[in-house]
Amino acid sequence: MKCRKCGGGAALELRRHNAAFCKPHFLEFFRNQVAEAIHRHRMFTRDETIMVAVSGGKDSLALWDVLIEQGYRTAGLYLDLGIFEYSQESKAKCESFAAAREQTLVIERVSQTVGAPIPEVQKATRRPTCSACGLSKRYLMNKAALEHGYPVVATGHNLDDEAATLFGSVLHWQTEALGRQFPVLASTHPKLARRVKPLYRLSELETAAYAFLRGIDYIVEECPFARGATSIAHKEALNRLEESSPGAKHNFLFGFLDKARPAFERAEPVELRECAACGQVTTGDICAFCKLADLVKRRSETTAPRPGDTMNHGSVAAHHPSGRES
């Protein structure tokens, strides 16, 4: 295999592009794809400071790395979800990444705002863990951006993530979600930060290769709740399609963005107001996050201490099952 650009030995073959690249030319390809995403969708300018939401995984750290390297002003945001050892290890990766590059890292603890770590929040809702987690993450990202004065939040969603989300929405014909699926979500209210996905043109394989070639130390383990999540099943189905027909994922996502999405866009923007409890933006009186936090609070008040519990007050739900706050 030879590099398409220089004819030297290739480090990576990209079947969907019918091309192979050596290390420097792959890194150039990666940066160009990110630059194209930023430019095409006017994601941000060099005058803005971008808050990069990092999980400690390859995608978000690759994103932060490429933005720093391209000279953008950035700050990291790590949301500590309180998910056992996974959260401790992923936080440590983000902290050492930020320290090595002398970047600001804002850390927000979910247990502080919601009243309990994610595994306990799930018990209060009795809905899939990822739905309470996703809601909390979106809320806290926006809250942190507002409080720290950052106009835009960038996430590490890649082409595989976006294609899997699209596949899930199409399977259930979730037309609202289809209308919202886009690499940029504009700020439609002074209290809403813009949300952007500069890696949407790059596959998971490509972000992994970038992280490896740049020597980024990321957490390889997935969140324990990712196992069995429907999004994983959707990714596997798309990977099988991709194997027999390279470029299928790309065509599925890009075809939707170019040709189908306008049909799902709302003619009228939704009316937004401020939550009566927390002041963040919502469509009702009380936002979904405050309702969730209230549910967690009520559960912790009614949860009677079990035999063997060392605590004799009603805050069992606010603690890690192992007795250690993460």
Stretch that binds Zn ion, among 12-20, 260-268, 271-279, 312-320 (CB under 5 A): 271-279
Q: Judged by CB under 6 A, does residue 138 bind ligand Q46?
A: no
Closer residue to Zn ion (CB): 144 or 184: 144
Q: At what angle do helices 159-171 and 248-255 cross, to 10 degrees?
A: 70
| Site size toward Zn ion, by CB under 5 A | 11
- Phi, psi angle pair for 108, to nearest 5°: -120, 135
Cα 235 from chain centroid? 16
Query: Residues 1, 6, 99, 226: which binds ligand Q46 (CB under 6 A)?
Result: 226
Q: Give the CA angle between residues 108, 109, 115 to the nearest 5°.
A: 135
Of ligand Q46, Zn ion, none, which one sits near residue 296, judging by CB under 5 to 8 A according to partner kind? none
Given 22, 50, 61, 121, the residue binding Zn ion (CB under 5 A) = 22
Backbone phi, psi, residue 78, to 5°: -110, 125
Work out whether 63 is an interface residue with ligand Q46 (CB under 6 A): no
94 CB contacts (<8 Å, ≥6 apart)?
Answer: 54, 55, 56, 61, 76, 78, 105
Interaction of residue 321 with ligand Q46, rule CB under 6 A: no
Among 34, 133, 163, 219, binds ligand Q46 (CB under 6 A): 133
* Of the candidate residues 1, 9, 36, 134, the single one contacting ligand Q46 (CB under 6 A): 134
Residues 185-224 that bind ligand Q46 (CB under 6 A): 223
Angle at 246 between CA 172 and CA 223, to 5 degrees: 55
Burial 33-59 (b: 16+ CB within 10 A, else e): bbeebbeebebbeeeebbbbbbbbbbb
Q: How many residues form the binding site for ligand Q46 (CB under 6 A)?
A: 10
Q: Which residue has the tokens 């699926």?
A: 181
Which H helix or E strand runs over 161?
Answer: helix 159-171
| 142 sits in which H/E element | helix 129-148
Judged by CB under 5 A, does residue 276 bind Zn ion? no
Smallest gap, in angstroms, from Cβ of residue 21 to Zn ion?
A: 6
- If one asks whether residue 14 binds Zn ion (CB under 5 A), the answer comes out as no
- Contact region for ligand Q46 (CB under 6 A) — 29-37, 130-138, 181-189, 268-276? 130-138
Contact flag: residue 129 with ligand Q46 (CB under 6 A): yes
| CA atoms of 95 and 106, how far apart (whole Å) | 10
Q: In this complex, which beta carbon is closest to ligand Q46, that of residue 66 or of residue 140?
A: 140
CA trace torsion 296, 302, 306, 310 (10° rounding): 70
Binding site partner of 279, from Zn ion, ligand Q46, none, Cβ cut-off 5-8 A by kind:
none
Cβ pair 275, 287 in contact under 8 A: yes
| Contact pick of 38, 153, 275, 296 for Zn ion (by CB under 5 A) | 275
| Residue 226 interface partner, choices ligand Q46, Zn ion, none, CB cut-off 5-8 Å depending on type | ligand Q46
> Residue numbers of the site for ligand Q46 (CB under 6 A)?
81, 118, 129-130, 133-134, 223, 225-226, 229
Site residues (vs Zn ion, CB under 5 A):
3, 5-6, 8, 22, 25, 275, 277-278, 287, 290
